A and B are shown apart, each in its own frame.
Chain A
Amino acid sequence: GIQVEQSPPDLILQEGANSTLRCNFSDSVNNLQWFHQNPWGQLINLFYIPSGTKQNGRLSATTVATERYSLLYISSSQTTDSGVYFCAVGLDNYGQNFVFGPGTRLSVLP
C-alpha cells in the first residue's frame, strides 16, 4: 500500500520562529489534507491541497503531486500552534480512504 512519511518527527521552536514540515508519499494521490491535532485530540482542518499552493494567515502549504511531496509552512509560531500535525492522502482511484502519516509533534515554547 501507499507509504506516507513526515519529517521531522519532533520539532521544538521558540515563539516567533518559522518552520517547515514535510510530507512524502509513495504513490499518486487525488486528495491531500493537512490537519492539526490539538491537545484535546480534535483534528482541525488546515488545508485541502491535492496540488498547488494555498495560504491562510500564518500558515501556507504547497503540494507538488508529480514529485509526491507536500510542505506546510508555519511562520511567526505561537504557543497555540503546539500539537501534532498530520498529513493525510487519498489514494488515486480508491475513493477517499485516507492514509495518514505518523505526524510531526510541534512544541512552541514561550
Chain B
Amino acid sequence: GAGVSQTPSNKVTEKGKYVELRCDPISGHTALYWYRQSLGQGPEFLIYFQGTGAADDSGLPNDRFFAVRPEGSVSTLKIQRTERGDSAVYLCASSFSRDHEQFFGPGTRLTVL
C-alpha cells in the first residue's frame, strides 16, 4: 500500500481480555516500530524491529506486552490480560532502514473497560 496501515482503527475490550493489533508497513521498509500515545502526551516508544527480529524491546512496559514480525513485513502487537491503564492509541511506524525517516500509521485506539 501507499502508507502504513493499522487494524482495527478502534478496539474496545474488557479488563483481563487478550487483544491483537496489526500493522502493515510500507512495502520495502525493513524497520518497524510500535509506539503508544496517551491522551495529551507525545508517543512513547515500545519496540523496534529490524527485519524479523526485535532489535530493541526496551519500551515494552511489562511481560503482558509482546510483538512479532514473523516474515519481516506485517507485525502484530499482542497484549495479554489487558488493564484499564493500557487504554491508549497504539501507533506503528516504518522506515526504509535504521537511519531513515519514519512514517506513521493512523493508529489503533484501544479502550479497556
Q: Which residues of B contact A96 (CB under 8 A)?
A: 31, 33, 48, 95, 98-100, 102
Interchain nearest-CB distance for A63 vs B (Å): 14
A42-B104, A42-B106, A43-B104 known; A97+B33 contact, CB < 8 A = yes
Contact A100 B43 (CB under 8 A): yes
A75–B62 Cα distance when bound, in Å, is 44
Q: Which residues of A contact B45 (CB under 8 A)?
A: 97-99
Q: Which of chain A's residues has its CB closest to B104's CB? A: A43
B67 sits at the interface (CB 8 A): no
Q: Which of chain A's residues has its CB closest to B58's CB? A: A97
Interchain nearest-CB distance for A49 vs B (Å): 10
Contact A41 B48 (CB under 8 A): no
Contact B35 A98 (CB under 8 A): yes
Q: Which residues of B contact A103 (CB under 8 A)?
A: 41-42
Contact A41 B99 (CB under 8 A): no
Q: Which residues of B contact A43 (CB under 8 A)?
A: 43, 91, 104
Interchain nearest-CB distance for B82 vs A (Å): 21
Flag A26-62 by CB within 8 Å of B: 1 or 0 each: 0000110101000011110100100000000000000
Question: Which of A86, A94, A95, A102 has the most chain B CB within a 10 Å cutoff?
Answer: A95
Q: Which residues of A contact B43 (CB under 8 A)?
A: 43, 86, 88, 98, 100
Q: Which residues B87-113 have CB closer than 8 A to chain A?
A: 89, 91, 95, 98-104, 106-107, 109
A97-B59, A103-B42 known; A45+B101 contact, CB < 8 A = yes
A86–B48 Cα distance when bound, in Å, is 20
A33-B102, A98-B33 known; A41+B89 contact, CB < 8 A = yes
